[in-house]
Amino acid sequence: MSQREEILNYFYILKKRRRLGSSYLFVGQEFSLLEDILKLISCSGNEYSCGTCWDCRNIAQGVHPDLHIIEPEGLSTKIESIRQGMRFLSLKSFCLSHKLLIIKDAGSLTLEASNAFLKTLEEPPPNSFIAVCAFGLEGILPTIISRCRRIFFPFVSKKPEISRKEEVTRFLEGENLVFKERKVFSDFLSTLINILHFVVISGIPVLNNKLPQAAGREIILPSLSPEKAMDILKYTARVYEARQSININLGMQLIKTRL
Protein backbone atom coordinates (compact mmCIF):
# COMPACT_ATOMS: atom_id res chain seq x y z
CA MET A 1 0.00 0.00 0.00
CA SER A 2 1.39 3.42 -0.91
CA GLN A 3 1.76 6.17 1.70
CA ARG A 4 -1.15 7.92 0.00
CA GLU A 5 -3.40 4.87 0.26
CA GLU A 6 -2.38 4.30 3.86
CA ILE A 7 -3.38 7.83 4.82
CA LEU A 8 -6.73 7.57 3.02
CA ASN A 9 -7.34 4.20 4.62
CA TYR A 10 -6.58 5.67 8.05
CA PHE A 11 -9.23 8.37 7.57
CA TYR A 12 -11.65 5.83 6.14
CA ILE A 13 -11.36 3.79 9.35
CA LEU A 14 -11.73 6.91 11.54
CA LYS A 15 -14.86 7.90 9.60
CA LYS A 16 -16.34 4.41 9.87
CA ARG A 17 -15.70 4.21 13.61
CA ARG A 18 -16.85 7.81 14.08
CA ARG A 19 -13.52 8.62 15.68
CA LEU A 20 -12.52 11.57 13.54
CA GLY A 21 -10.42 14.05 15.52
CA SER A 22 -11.00 17.79 15.45
CA SER A 23 -7.51 19.05 14.56
CA TYR A 24 -4.89 17.68 12.21
CA LEU A 25 -1.55 19.05 11.11
CA PHE A 26 -0.65 17.91 7.61
CA VAL A 27 3.04 18.25 6.85
CA GLY A 28 4.59 17.72 3.44
CA GLN A 29 4.04 18.69 -0.15
CA GLU A 30 1.38 16.53 -1.77
CA PHE A 31 -1.60 18.62 -0.69
CA SER A 32 -3.87 17.22 -3.38
CA LEU A 33 -4.23 14.43 -0.84
CA LEU A 34 -6.01 16.76 1.57
CA GLU A 35 -8.82 17.29 -0.95
CA ASP A 36 -9.23 13.50 -1.14
CA ILE A 37 -9.39 13.29 2.66
CA LEU A 38 -12.03 16.05 2.83
CA LYS A 39 -14.11 14.29 0.19
CA LEU A 40 -13.66 10.95 1.93
CA ILE A 41 -14.93 12.21 5.27
CA SER A 42 -17.76 14.26 3.71
CA CYS A 43 -19.04 12.23 0.75
CA SER A 44 -22.76 11.59 0.76
CA GLY A 45 -22.54 9.25 -2.25
CA ASN A 46 -20.77 6.25 -0.76
CA GLU A 47 -18.57 5.25 2.16
CA TYR A 48 -15.34 6.17 0.33
CA SER A 49 -15.59 9.24 -1.84
CA CYS A 50 -17.54 9.07 -5.08
CA GLY A 51 -16.18 12.29 -6.59
CA THR A 52 -19.54 12.99 -8.24
CA CYS A 53 -22.01 13.79 -5.44
CA TRP A 54 -22.87 17.38 -4.55
CA ASP A 55 -20.53 17.38 -1.53
CA CYS A 56 -17.55 15.89 -3.42
CA ARG A 57 -17.93 18.30 -6.35
CA ASN A 58 -18.25 21.40 -4.20
CA ILE A 59 -15.32 20.42 -1.99
CA ALA A 60 -13.19 19.86 -5.11
CA GLN A 61 -14.10 23.36 -6.29
CA GLY A 62 -13.50 24.85 -2.85
CA VAL A 63 -17.02 26.29 -2.68
CA HIS A 64 -18.76 23.96 -0.23
CA PRO A 65 -20.74 25.98 2.35
CA ASP A 66 -19.29 23.84 5.17
CA LEU A 67 -15.74 24.46 3.97
CA HIS A 68 -13.67 27.53 4.77
CA ILE A 69 -10.12 27.96 3.50
CA ILE A 70 -7.66 30.42 5.00
CA GLU A 71 -4.80 31.42 2.73
CA PRO A 72 -1.98 33.91 3.34
CA GLU A 73 -2.59 37.43 2.10
CA GLY A 74 0.70 38.51 0.62
CA LEU A 75 3.37 37.76 3.18
CA SER A 76 1.33 36.43 6.05
CA THR A 77 -1.89 35.06 7.45
CA LYS A 78 -3.31 37.73 9.71
CA ILE A 79 -5.45 37.57 12.82
CA GLU A 80 -8.56 38.80 10.98
CA SER A 81 -8.46 35.74 8.70
CA ILE A 82 -8.25 33.52 11.79
CA ARG A 83 -11.18 35.35 13.40
CA GLN A 84 -13.25 34.75 10.26
CA GLY A 85 -12.33 31.09 10.48
CA MET A 86 -13.38 30.99 14.15
CA ARG A 87 -16.74 32.60 13.28
CA PHE A 88 -17.21 30.07 10.51
CA LEU A 89 -16.64 27.18 12.94
CA SER A 90 -19.10 28.61 15.45
CA LEU A 91 -21.96 28.55 12.92
CA LYS A 92 -24.25 25.58 12.46
CA SER A 93 -23.24 23.39 9.53
CA PHE A 94 -25.35 23.51 6.37
CA CYS A 95 -25.40 19.91 5.28
CA LEU A 96 -22.38 18.01 6.55
CA SER A 97 -22.11 16.57 10.03
CA HIS A 98 -18.96 18.67 10.49
CA LYS A 99 -17.43 21.97 9.43
CA LEU A 100 -14.13 21.95 7.55
CA LEU A 101 -11.60 24.68 8.26
CA ILE A 102 -8.37 24.62 6.26
CA ILE A 103 -5.31 26.69 7.14
CA LYS A 104 -3.29 26.58 3.93
CA ASP A 105 0.14 27.60 5.24
CA ALA A 106 0.66 27.45 8.99
CA GLY A 107 4.17 28.86 8.55
CA SER A 108 2.63 32.15 7.41
CA LEU A 109 0.60 32.78 10.59
CA THR A 110 1.65 35.93 12.40
CA LEU A 111 2.34 35.52 16.12
CA GLU A 112 -0.94 37.30 16.88
CA ALA A 113 -2.83 35.01 14.50
CA SER A 114 -1.08 31.94 15.96
CA ASN A 115 -2.13 32.87 19.49
CA ALA A 116 -5.73 33.49 18.46
CA PHE A 117 -5.78 30.22 16.55
CA LEU A 118 -4.39 28.39 19.58
CA LYS A 119 -7.59 29.21 21.49
CA THR A 120 -9.65 27.53 18.78
CA LEU A 121 -7.41 24.48 18.89
CA GLU A 122 -7.75 24.26 22.67
CA GLU A 123 -11.54 24.27 22.54
CA PRO A 124 -12.77 23.69 19.01
CA PRO A 125 -16.55 24.01 18.57
CA PRO A 126 -18.24 20.58 18.36
CA ASN A 127 -18.02 18.89 14.93
CA SER A 128 -15.06 20.94 13.77
CA PHE A 129 -12.53 19.42 11.42
CA ILE A 130 -9.50 21.68 11.34
CA ALA A 131 -6.77 20.91 8.83
CA VAL A 132 -3.57 22.85 9.35
CA CYS A 133 -1.18 22.53 6.41
CA ALA A 134 2.55 23.13 6.60
CA PHE A 135 5.54 22.50 4.38
CA GLY A 136 7.64 21.81 7.46
CA LEU A 137 7.45 22.20 11.21
CA GLU A 138 9.81 25.19 11.36
CA GLY A 139 8.20 28.49 12.24
CA ILE A 140 5.07 26.95 13.75
CA LEU A 141 4.34 27.47 17.44
CA PRO A 142 5.13 24.22 19.33
CA THR A 143 1.81 24.67 21.18
CA ILE A 144 -0.01 24.51 17.83
CA ILE A 145 1.95 21.43 16.77
CA SER A 146 1.25 19.63 20.04
CA ARG A 147 -2.51 20.23 19.84
CA CYS A 148 -2.89 18.62 16.42
CA ARG A 149 -2.63 15.04 15.29
CA ARG A 150 0.25 15.02 12.85
CA ILE A 151 -0.02 13.41 9.43
CA PHE A 152 2.98 13.38 7.13
CA PHE A 153 2.20 13.69 3.44
CA PRO A 154 4.51 12.33 0.75
CA PHE A 155 7.18 14.71 -0.52
CA VAL A 156 7.27 15.44 -4.22
CA SER A 157 10.37 13.95 -5.80
CA LYS A 158 12.92 16.59 -6.72
CA LYS A 159 13.40 17.47 -10.38
CA PRO A 160 16.95 17.06 -11.64
CA GLU A 161 19.04 20.19 -11.09
CA ILE A 162 19.59 20.81 -14.80
CA SER A 163 15.88 21.36 -15.45
CA ARG A 164 15.78 23.89 -12.60
CA LYS A 165 18.49 25.89 -14.39
CA GLU A 166 16.55 25.73 -17.64
CA GLU A 167 13.56 27.03 -15.74
CA VAL A 168 15.61 29.97 -14.47
CA THR A 169 16.74 30.73 -18.03
CA ARG A 170 13.16 30.68 -19.29
CA PHE A 171 12.14 32.98 -16.43
CA LEU A 172 14.94 35.45 -17.21
CA GLU A 173 13.77 35.44 -20.81
CA GLY A 174 10.37 36.61 -19.64
CA GLU A 175 8.38 33.40 -19.39
CA ASN A 176 5.71 33.24 -16.70
CA LEU A 177 6.40 30.36 -14.35
CA VAL A 178 3.73 29.15 -11.96
CA PHE A 179 4.71 27.16 -8.87
CA LYS A 180 2.17 25.46 -6.68
CA GLU A 181 4.52 23.91 -4.14
CA ARG A 182 6.50 26.15 -1.83
CA LYS A 183 9.46 23.76 -1.80
CA VAL A 184 9.74 23.94 -5.60
CA PHE A 185 9.42 27.73 -5.48
CA SER A 186 12.14 27.87 -2.85
CA ASP A 187 14.45 25.63 -4.94
CA PHE A 188 13.83 27.86 -7.95
CA LEU A 189 14.78 30.97 -5.95
CA SER A 190 18.03 29.48 -4.69
CA THR A 191 19.00 28.41 -8.22
CA LEU A 192 18.18 31.89 -9.52
CA ILE A 193 20.32 33.43 -6.78
CA ASN A 194 23.25 31.12 -7.62
CA ILE A 195 23.12 32.02 -11.30
CA LEU A 196 22.79 35.77 -10.65
CA HIS A 197 25.69 35.54 -8.21
CA PHE A 198 27.78 33.95 -10.92
CA VAL A 199 27.05 36.82 -13.33
CA VAL A 200 27.73 39.48 -10.66
CA ILE A 201 30.96 37.93 -9.41
CA SER A 202 32.36 37.01 -12.83
CA GLY A 203 31.49 40.49 -14.13
CA ILE A 204 30.82 39.09 -17.58
CA PRO A 205 27.81 40.43 -19.44
CA VAL A 206 26.13 37.34 -20.70
CA LEU A 207 24.86 37.43 -24.26
CA ASN A 208 23.25 34.13 -24.98
CA ASN A 209 26.49 32.54 -23.97
CA LYS A 210 26.95 29.14 -22.57
CA LEU A 211 28.33 29.37 -19.09
CA PRO A 212 30.26 26.43 -17.70
CA GLN A 213 29.01 25.62 -14.22
CA ALA A 214 31.05 24.23 -11.37
CA ALA A 215 29.35 20.88 -11.74
CA GLY A 216 30.51 20.70 -15.35
CA ARG A 217 27.08 21.37 -16.75
CA GLU A 218 26.35 24.19 -19.12
CA ILE A 219 23.60 26.71 -18.96
CA ILE A 220 22.51 29.30 -21.47
CA LEU A 221 21.61 32.73 -20.20
CA PRO A 222 19.88 35.56 -21.99
CA SER A 223 21.52 38.96 -22.22
CA LEU A 224 22.17 40.10 -18.68
CA SER A 225 24.66 42.70 -17.52
CA PRO A 226 26.30 42.35 -14.09
CA GLU A 227 24.51 45.56 -12.97
CA LYS A 228 21.17 44.17 -14.06
CA ALA A 229 21.97 40.83 -12.42
CA MET A 230 22.82 42.66 -9.17
CA ASP A 231 19.50 44.48 -9.26
CA ILE A 232 17.50 41.28 -9.81
CA LEU A 233 19.63 39.55 -7.19
CA LYS A 234 18.71 42.11 -4.52
CA TYR A 235 15.01 41.58 -5.13
CA THR A 236 15.33 37.82 -5.35
CA ALA A 237 17.20 37.77 -2.04
CA ARG A 238 14.35 39.69 -0.37
CA VAL A 239 11.76 37.30 -1.76
CA TYR A 240 13.97 34.37 -0.70
CA GLU A 241 14.02 35.68 2.88
CA ALA A 242 10.21 35.63 2.87
CA ARG A 243 9.96 32.34 0.95
CA GLN A 244 8.17 30.48 3.77
CA SER A 245 5.30 32.93 3.96
CA ILE A 246 5.10 35.06 0.83
CA ASN A 247 2.33 34.39 -1.68
CA ILE A 248 4.22 32.46 -4.36
CA ASN A 249 2.70 34.28 -7.34
CA LEU A 250 3.31 37.64 -5.72
CA GLY A 251 6.95 36.69 -5.08
CA MET A 252 7.44 35.72 -8.71
CA GLN A 253 5.80 38.95 -9.90
CA LEU A 254 8.00 41.05 -7.60
CA ILE A 255 11.15 39.60 -9.14
CA LYS A 256 9.69 39.92 -12.61
CA THR A 257 9.26 43.68 -12.23
CA ARG A 258 13.08 43.94 -12.18
CA LEU A 259 13.66 42.02 -15.42
Per CB under 5 A, residues contacting Zn ion are 43, 45, 50, 53, 56
Residue number, 45 or 139, with CB nearest to Zn ion: 45
What's the closest the beta carbon of residue 129 comes to Zn ion, in angstroms?
16
What's the closest the beta carbon of residue 56 comes to Zn ion, in angstroms?
3
Residue number, 63 or 162, with CB nearest to Zn ion: 63
What's the closest the beta carbon of residue 42 comes to Zn ion, in angstroms?
8
**Backbone region of residue 4 per phi and psi (left: phi > 0; alpha: psi in -120 to 50; beta: other values):** alpha
Task: Report which of 160, 118, 162, 154 is spatially closest to residue 23, judged by C-alpha positions.
Answer: 118
Residue number, 50 or 151, with CB nearest to Zn ion: 50
Contact 23, 124 (CB under 8 A): yes
Contacts of 121 by beta carbon, 8 Å cutoff, 6+ apart: 23, 130, 144, 147, 148
What's the closest the beta carbon of residue 48 comes to Zn ion, in angstroms?
8
Residue number, 37 or 184, with CB nearest to Zn ion: 37
Residue number, 10 or 54, with CB nearest to Zn ion: 54
Task: Report which of 180, 186, 221 is spatially closest to residue 204, judged by C-alpha positions.
Answer: 221
Give φ, ψ of 211 to 5 degrees.
Answer: -105, 125
What's the closest the beta carbon of residue 2 comes to Zn ion, in angstroms?
22
In angstroms, the CA 6 to CA 23 distance is 19
Task: Report which of 187, 177, 195 is spatially closest to residue 253, judged by C-alpha positions.
Answer: 177
What's the closest the beta carbon of residue 59 comes to Zn ion, in angstroms?
8
Q: Which amino acid is at 95?
A: C
Beta bridge partners of 244: none
Contact 49, 36 (CB under 8 A): yes
Residue number, 40 or 232, with CB nearest to Zn ion: 40
